[in-house]
């Protein structure tokens, strides 16, 4: 059994992680900075192997305090990170296994791989990215959209992000990457990338129908990093591991 602690336990994702942590997992501690009774004021219980974090970037000072002086592994799906949070990820990884992903869905990983192929093959296409999330999401564009934009930039150097368009903005420039954020309802996550060529277009899309997808992905990541040596890990590491061991599970 993998023993976990949940940071951000009273948020939508934290609650789902707790609900889905049935067979194979045990929740030993819960922390949420919005609730004084749950605020981290000490290290996790010694039996905890992995802290699963779905909180907010501005809560990471408390997460840092929780992890300090321990080597407990971390799985985080928190988005909206700034330079300070990215520095913390690297610092934490010196002493523990740190798994961070902007999206815990395996399908998004597949989408990113396919987008890289499409960007190479359709090297003259105009590219537009549209992401849709629920009305409570605070960061924009989504962390997944940011990662997709970074992926496309590696394949097509020189792409310039343009966040929405308004007014007399002129004709579309060849190296623009349009990024558009839609917010409304209870959409867990939808990412669509269109490649527009002369006379034809290709659109690749990934949709999540339930947030439980992310909770299950985080638990899968927790099982993966438990007992691993210090360092940074991500979805590519997890997918590679699952592919190599699919006949043993």
Q: What integer pLDDT is reported at residue 249 of this predicted model?
A: 46
Going by pLDDT thresholds of 50, 70 and 90, the confidence category of residue 248 is low
Rounded to whole angstroms, the Cα distance separating 225 from 233 reads: 8
Query: Looking at the predicted structure, is the pLDDT value of residue 244 above 70?
Result: yes
133 shares a domain with 43: no
Q: What percent of the chain has pLDDT over 70?
A: 95
Rounded to whole angstroms, the Cα distance separating 200 from 24 reads: 48
- Using DSSP bridges, classify how beta strands 126-133 and 160-163 pair: parallel, antiparallel or unpaired: unpaired
48 shares a domain with 119: no
DSSP-based three-state secondary structure for 202: strand
110 shares a domain with 193: yes
- Beta-bridge partner residues of 31: 7
195 shares a domain with 75: no
168 shares a domain with 219: no
Q: Which domain holds residue 149?
A: 106-208
Going by pLDDT thresholds of 50, 70 and 90, the confidence category of residue 34 is low
Among residues 15, 120, 135, 137, the one annotated as catalytic is 137
Phi-psi region of 24 (alpha: psi -120 to 50; beta: other; left: phi over 0): left
Q: What integer pLDDT is reported at residue 23 of this predicted model?
A: 82
190 shares a domain with 227: no
Contact, 62 vs 88, CB < 8 A?
A: no
In degrees, to the nearest 5, what angle opens at C-alpha 84 toward C-alphas 82 and 90?
110
Which of 218, 209, 235 is CA-nearest to residue 9? Answer: 218
Rounded to whole angstroms, the Cα distance separating 11 from 226 reads: 24
163 shares a domain with 113: yes
Q: How many CA atoms lie within 13 A of 25 on its CB side?
A: 24
Going by pLDDT thresholds of 50, 70 and 90, the confidence category of residue 243 is confident
pLDDT tens digits, residue range 87-117?
Answer: 999 999 999 999 999 899 999 999 999 999 9
Q: What integer pLDDT is reported at residue 246 of this predicted model?
A: 75
Q: Indicate which CATH number applies to the domain containing 215.
A: 3.40.50.720
Rounded to whole angstroms, the Cα distance separating 102 from 40 reads: 24
Catalytic site includes residue 137: yes
The region of weakest confidence among 24-38, 73-87, 124-138, 226-240 is 24-38
Query: Looking at the predicted structure, is the pLDDT value of residue 38 above 70?
Result: no
Q: Indicate which CATH number applies to the domain containing 171.
A: 3.30.360.10
Query: Looking at the predicted structure, is the pLDDT value of residue 37 above 90?
Result: no
Longest dimension (CA), the chain: 62
Burial of residue 75 (number of CB atoms within 10 Å: 0-12, 13-18, 19+): buried
83 shares a domain with 10: yes
Average pLDDT value for residue range 193-214: 96
Average pLDDT value for residue range 29-36: 77
Among residues 15, 120, 133, 135, the one annotated as catalytic is 133
Q: Which helix (H) or strand (E) holds 53?
A: strand 50-53
Which of 77, 150, 142, 78 is CA-nearest to residue 115? Answer: 150
The region of weakest confidence among 31-40, 51-60, 203-212 is 31-40
Q: Per the structure, how many domains does the chain have? A: 2
114 shares a domain with 36: no
Strands (E), 56-199: 73-76, 97-100, 126-133, 160-163, 176-183, 189-197
Query: Looking at the predicted structure, is the pLDDT value of residue 41 above 90?
Result: no
Mean pLDDT, rounded, of the chain: 92
Q: Which two tokens stand for residue 122?
A: 């359709």
37 backbone dihedrals φ, ψ, rounded to 5°: -70, -15
Q: Which helix (H) or strand (E) holds 85?
A: helix 83-92
Catalytic site includes residue 133: yes
240 shares a domain with 158: no
């Amino acid at each position: 059994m993998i023993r976990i602690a949940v940071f951000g336990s009273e948020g939508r994702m934290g609650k789902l992680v707790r609900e889905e942590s049935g067979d194979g997992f045990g929740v030993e501690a819960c922390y949420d900075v919005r609730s004084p009774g749950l605020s981290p004021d000490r290290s996790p219980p010694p039996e905890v192997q992995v802290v699963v974090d779905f909180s907010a970037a501005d809560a990471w000072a408390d997460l840092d305090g929780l992890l300090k002086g321990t080597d407990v592994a971390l799985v985080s799906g928190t988005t909206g990170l700034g330079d300070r949070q990215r520095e913390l990820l690297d610092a934490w990884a010196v002493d523990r296994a740190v798994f961070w992903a902007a999206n815990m869905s395996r399908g998004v990983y597949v989408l990113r791989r396919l987008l890289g192929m499409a960007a190479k093959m359709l090297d003259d296409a105009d590219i537009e990215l549209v992401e849709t999330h629920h009305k409570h999401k605070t960061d924009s564009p989504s962390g997944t959209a940011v990662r997709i934009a970074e992926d496309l930039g590696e394949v097509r150097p020189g792409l310039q992000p343009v966040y929405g368009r308004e007014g007399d903005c002129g004709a579309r420039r060849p190296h623009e990457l349009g990024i558009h954020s839609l917010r409304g309802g209870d959409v867990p996550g939808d990412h669509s990338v269109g490649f527009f060529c002369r006379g034809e277009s290709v659109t690749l899309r990934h949709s999540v129908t339930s947030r439980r997808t992310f909770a299950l992905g985080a638990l899968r990541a927790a099982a993966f990093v438990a007992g691993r040596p210090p360092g940074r890990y991500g979805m590519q590491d997890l997918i590679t591991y699952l592919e190599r061991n699919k006949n043993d599970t």
